[in-house]
Chains A and B, each alone.
Chain A
Amino acid sequence: MLSGIVLLFIIAPLLQVFLSLHFTDYAKIISDNELHQSLITTLLIGFITTLFFSLGAIPLAYLLARKQFRLKRLIVSIIDIPIVIPHTAVGIALLTVFSPKGIFPLNIIDSSLGIGLAMAFVSIPFLIQSAREGFLTVPEKLEKASLSLGMNHRQTFFKIAIPLAWHHIVSGFIMMFARGISEFGAVIIIAYRPTTSSVLLFERFNSFGLLAAQPVAATIIIISLCIFVVLRLLASKN
């Protein structure tokens, strides 16, 4: 009974967004260039960010799974911190680091770079932890066998560890991407423009109310679900 209520709690709001749409709303969605542009911006920045950060996140996950070193447990805990910090605070924190007078002297305000950094910061734990779990499921003796057969560490990583942890890596990639494109709090602090879909939704709701925001919300939800399903299917095929 309680399980059913929880399930309803998840499904009902998502379903209601679609059920409350009028036929004319669909026409609005089709002709809404601003919405289209924000979706392209969000998906493109989200994908590039996930791809770029995975180049470092996957080797880091491997090190955390395989190597024993001092402060390892602390580092594993630190990686999860972005999940628990309020995301508006993340935006502020990033602005203090990435500013002309910060540690990284870059101006990220109202830039795609800023949006990407905000997306990456809040979503990268999903990829690292999932990939780490994947590498932990790969028996170490397989890598030992590979090394003893004459493959170096890099070859062993790409021929044994990556293929065997692939499901976890893809799963982490999907989670990072999905979490990144849905980010709002950190993004709005750093970059109001170019407009991401979450920011556009907020803007429409703030300026024109619930009815104006619903078509945008429905579009974002359906696109997110589509991406999620497609990537999951790809992962299961692999």
Chain B
Amino acid sequence: MLYINHLYYQIGSFTLNDICLHIQQGDYFVFLGESGSGKTLLLELIAGFRTFKQGEILLNNQNLLLKPVYKRGIAYIPNDGALFPHLNVKKNLLYAVKNGTHPLLNTIMQSFNLSLLLNKMPAELSSGEKQKVAIARALLSGATLFLFDEPLSSVDAHARFEIMLMLRQLNQQGHTVLHVTHDYHEALTLARHVAIMHRGKIIQTGNVHEIFNQPNNLFVAKLSGIKNVFNAILRSIEPKQYLIEPNLLITVNTSELPQKAILIIPANDIVLSTQKLESSMKNSFLGIVKDIIQSHQGIDVLIDIGVLMHVCITEASLSNMLISQGKEVWLSFKASSVKVLPSA
């Protein structure tokens, strides 16, 4: 459906660099990256708000450069929905509809629960309601491709889930969705395919499980929300040990032993104790508690063992072990818990 071939675009000192992508009809494709990585710029180039000189973008085999922005059938929905503030909800919905009526109007209004909002002005709507109206308006415009720029960034927690459901429904109805975000949770929840962007480049692309299970470098791993991820160099084959700079030796138990690797040590697999454990676990280190952070998954204890390591424990364990900042603790994990990925 959408082909992007060797696309370059320069703005000031920033360059979008050799972007190549193929997005299939009906895909939910997420561009994941930090602020300033070029995600929104890429979306604007696809939408047609900017004109590029090098590369090509084809939509259904048609060169988009030859089509003006208003004839592309690409709906662009920024983070606040961009509702027209001088028009009420009904006029916003029918903005792009000829003759002031649309066969799907009632269906969309019902499925999006918009009936009670029709006479309200955008300023009277909550952030979630604005997004709902914006999505419904885009649907009524007859667009075939939907570009969402951080659609969940400005909605409150309550509306977030509802908007996520709407985005999924939109995609399940066969619409192709491109979604820009810096939040890996959104990618994990919604995406079928993900492109990781960094400094104007796509540094990894693939289906969502590939990206999150096999990040090809440290940046992707960290952006994907994985904790305890480190660059490492193979130190010895027997025992199977990797060195994490400056001097942390980690024992692994994998058949593949790439020379340069990314080691992932799941925070849930690490055992915390106040004394050294007598066990079969090959990795055991003494460290100092640097911080204790409450998270929705439990307690995240940050321990310095030469590198900073996250350990997930329960509140009960925290109080039983009397763990506090500055205290010496032991952390242990099995060699088989360490995931070894080749580093690109």
Contact = CB atoms under 8 A, between A and B. Distances in A.
B49 interface: yes
B57 to A, nearest CB: 15
A149 B78 contact: no
B311 interface: no
A146 B96 CA distance: 8
A146 B95 contact: yes
B69 A149 contact: no
Range of interface residues on A (Cβ < 8 Å): 10 to 19
A142 B81 CA distance: 9
A141 B82 contact: yes
A163 interface: yes
A164 B74 CA distance: 24
B70 A160 contact: no
Nearest to B141: A149
Contact of A144 (B49, B96, B141): B49
A149 B49 contact: no
B68 interface: yes
Given A147-B49, A150-B96, A163 B86 contact: yes
A199 B281 CA distance: 102
B138 interface: yes
B141 A142 contact: no
A145 interface: yes
A148 B70 contact: yes
B85 A150 contact: no
Given A144-B49, A145-B76, A145-B78, A151 B86 contact: no
Contacts of B71: 150
A129 B71 CA distance: 33
A146 B48 CA distance: 12
Contacts of A141: 78, 82
Nearest to A151: B70
B70 A142 contact: no
A108 B77 CA distance: 53
A91 B47 CA distance: 50
A49 B120 CA distance: 40
A115 to B, nearest CB: 37
A120 B49 CA distance: 36
A147 B69 contact: yes
B84 interface: yes
Interface of A: 139, 141-142, 144-153, 156, 159-160, 163-164
Given A144-B44, A164-B85, 15 more contacts: A141-B78, A142-B85, A144-B47, A144-B76, A145-B77, A145-B78, A147-B48, A148-B74, A149-B75, A149-B96, A150-B73, A150-B141, A150-B142, A156-B70, A164-B86
12 contacts: A139-B82, A141-B78, A142-B82, A144-B44, A145-B84, A148-B48, A148-B76, A148-B147, A149-B95, A149-B138, A149-B141, A159-B95
